[in-house]
Amino acid sequence: MKNEKRREFIKQLGLVAGSTALLPSLLSFDSIINTYKKEGSQKKINVALCGLGRYAKILAKGLEQTKQCKLTGLVTGTPEKEITWGQKYNIPKKNIYNYDNFDSIIDNKDIDLVYVVLPNSMHKEFTIRAANAGKHVIVEKPMGLNALECVEMIDACKKNGVQLAVGYRLHYEPHHKEIKRMGQEKVFGNIRYIDASLGYRIKGWKKDAWHLKKAMSGGGPLTNIGIYCVQSNRYILGEEPIAVTAQFGPVQRPDYFKEVEESITWQLEFPSGAVTTSASSYSYNVDRLYASGDDGFFELEPALSYGPFKGKSSLGTFNFPVINQQQVQLDEISKCILNKEPLPMHIRGEEGHKDMLVIDAIYKSAATGKKVVI
């Protein structure tokens, strides 16, 4: 019976069977068995989603496809979601928390990482609480309400010996990896000009939505989606901007936009002499990126949303696969943690801090009408 099982296993592995001369020795066979079992039961990072709103649903779908991590916990301030999400994703009650009892997660060995997907004003609090509980953290962008909050979050994670990542999904997307390479490797010489803009006309939002409350969001479209424009400018050039001028757009729907901007445009200056112009809005649709160098160009449209992206350069049309952006991001971050390796700098909390330094300066310029040195 034992030999029959071995022969069947070898057959499943695609090895040649039928001749005892080709069967591995008992020692080598046991080695294959152990390797197979090890790969089949590879440890994964156990993830708790903290905040179960719209984007958490997208992340949950991504988690269903991941290989390096899995959804094992939930954190929500809505009792009904404890039941519906718990049943849908088969999460045991002991792994479901609310905002009051969250700190007891410190005793839960079933959770390694907390992904903070809460309103922006809650990012700092729950990042620090998760870090104090010894859990690694991914926090959605914008990392905090301002650059100072980001520093506090980074310090808390360092103090507790946990890793802190920001949910920059585009860092692992093939089109964006390519435009980053083209810009930083100067495939078309020095990049002189970039136009990166993202906006959409909001429809069906409740007028008390948290995105429209400055205390909860920190701002309007700039903090929510304009941050992708700031990001792309920085990673294409591989530089940090040194100055900005910015302008608020007209308020066309004052019943919605009483506290945050409806639209905003800004221009960044970089040490190399490159300039960028961007716009972000909740009143019109735009989703494009164009970069011009000494010897050519590249562009994407759609460019900064969830895709699927399309693009080309002076060398021809891009032909990259469509990926699940959340799945790849989660797997790559989890892989680093599993291997006990530091996260790459482009995804760490320090990257989120750099974005917020720029966003703080954009708002200051738009409010004062003056150029602001960053």
The per-residue pLDDT for 42 is: 79
**Catalytic residue ranges:** 141, 228
CATH 3.40.50.720 residue ranges of the chain are: 45-169
Q: What's the CATH code, domain 174-320+347-373?
A: 3.30.360.10
Three-state SS at 202:
coil
Degrees to nearest 5, angle at CA 156 with 151 and 158: 95
The per-residue pLDDT for 28 is: 38
Alpha carbon distance 80, 61 (integer Å) = 20
* Domain 45-169 indexed as CATH 3.40.50.720: yes
CATH 3.30.360.10 residue ranges of the chain are: 174-320+347-373
SS3 content of the chain, % helix, strand, coil (to 5): 45, 20, 35
Three-state SS at 323:
coil
- DSSP-derived secondary structure for 98-110: -TTTGGGGGG-TT
| Closest alpha carbon to 352 in 209, 141, 46 | 141
| Angle, helices 147-159/123-132, rounded to nearest 10 degrees | 10
Three-state SS at 38:
helix
Alpha carbon distance 75, 133 (integer Å) = 14
Q: pLDDT under 50 in the chain at which residues?
A: 1-41
The per-residue pLDDT for 13 is: 40
The per-residue pLDDT for 8 is: 45
The per-residue pLDDT for 166 is: 98
243-248: strand order across its sheet:
316-317, 311-313, 296-300, 286-293, 191-199, 275-281, 263-269, 243-248, 372-373
Q: What is the pTM of this model?
A: 0.88
